[in-house]
Amino acid sequence: MSQRIQFRQHGGPEVLELIDVPVAEPGPGEVRVRNHAIGLNFIDTYFRSGLYAPPSLPSGLGNEGAGVVEAVGEGVSTFQPGDRVAYGTGPLGAYAEHHVLPAGNLVKLPDSISFEEAAAAMLKGLTCQYLLRQTHPLQAGDTVLFHAAAGGVGSIACQWAKALGVRLIGVVGSAEKAERARALGAWATIDRSREDVVQRVLELTDGRKCPVVYDSVGKDTWEISLDCVAPRGLLVSFGNASGAVTGVNLGVLAQKGSLFVTRPTVAGYADTPERLQAMADELFAMIDSGRIHIETGQRYPLRDAAEAQRRLAARETTGSTILLP
């Protein structure tokens, strides 16, 4: 038998339950991984709450983890039992001792990267890779705005931007988080609890605003973010921490300077095994070089997944959070 977290109905963290299930056998094209560490991400709360719909209920939860291959299904030649692997694009069900998933969703994990590092970094690190290197390939000297700069994704983005020579302005929610973001490489910070974000962006950029704004908060910061984008610049909306952005009037983009908006996802960029592995390889190289340090701020046993999600939603965490089966 194997333990996993599931939920039978949408709701708060209290709907999560730990159950025993039979160890599943991988089907054709699938691999069974014994998880050594599991990543916790804000998107997990979207599936639990019902903002995003899982395929069916009851449902497992989690898209990210790292461990060792235990078994492979028919037709799988890229992996074999004993391989160290990691994944960050699902399918749902990572909150478990064992996870069966398509071989194409796995990447090979070098010995230099620990299971905990990989579980803490895969989804967040791949997100930073596509945001900074693909959605709008940043160049040294660029000045960008990044919301939630002290969080899991933001912590990696601050370091990656610094390595690229990019001036990242990090929006945070407290003086403590501002200090953390600067220590990680943010060029400047804005404490939204006591500062006007738009006004500070104008001051920091001499009125030019930013060619790119990265917003994972969603509803509460949508208008603020638009007002921070330079003419013909890009707003990258990649999360819904405060709720989904709805009722968008495209005419506003014209009024604010012929702006561009995109709503990307990891799956939209890591859409083939080759692209996924290439993105992961660049991430692992950044970690190996020391230019990115993966800080795991919190560790919880799998059974405490509900408490871990509660703290994440309450913004009581820093860096990455992992679950240990």
Percent of the chain with pLDDT over 70: 100
Asked if 232 and 277 sit in the same domain, the reply is: no
Closest to 301 in 3D by CA, of 14, 7, 37, 120 = 37
pLDDT digits (tens, 9 = 90+) for 179-235: 999 999 999 999 999 999 999 999 999 999 999 999 999 888 999 999 999 999 999
**pLDDT higher than 80, residue 318:** no
Asked if 239 and 163 sit in the same domain, the reply is: yes
Return the CATH number at 117.
3.90.180.10
The per-residue b/e assignment along 65-95, b for 16 or more CB within 10 angstroms, e otherwise, is bbbebbbbbeebeebeeebbbbbbbbbbbbb
**pLDDT higher than 90, residue 65:** yes
Residue 133 lies in a domain: no
Residue 72 lies in domain: 2-121+273-324
Residue 128 lies in a domain: no
Question: Residue 100: what are its φ and ψ, rounded to 5°?
Answer: -105, 125
Residue 165 lies in a domain: yes
pLDDT digits (tens, 9 = 90+) for 39-57: 999 889 989 999 888 999 9
Asked if 159 and 238 sit in the same domain, the reply is: yes
pLDDT at position 248 is 86
Return the CATH number at 164.
3.40.50.720
pLDDT digits (tens, 9 = 90+) for 308-317: 999 988 878 8
Q: What is the pTM for the complete model shown?
A: 0.90
Q: How many domains does the chain have?
A: 2
Task: Write out the chain in H/E/C secondary structure.
Answer: CEEEEEECCCCCHHHEEEEEECCCCCCCCEEEEEEEEEEECHHHHHHHHCCCCCCCCCEECCCCEEEEEEEECCCCCCCCCCCEEEECCCCCCCCECEEEEEHHHEEECCCCCCHHHHHHHHHHHHHHHHHHHHHCCCCCCCEEEEECCCCHHHHHHHHHHHHHCCEEEEEECCHHHHHHHHHHCCCEEEECCCCCHHHHHHHHCCCCCEEEEEECCCHHHHHHHHCCEEEEEEEEECCCCCCCCCCCCCHHHHHCCCCEEECCCHHHHCCCHHHHHHHHHHHHHHHHCCCCCCCEEEEEEHHHHHHHHHHHHCCCCCCEEEEEC
Asked if 144 and 258 sit in the same domain, the reply is: yes
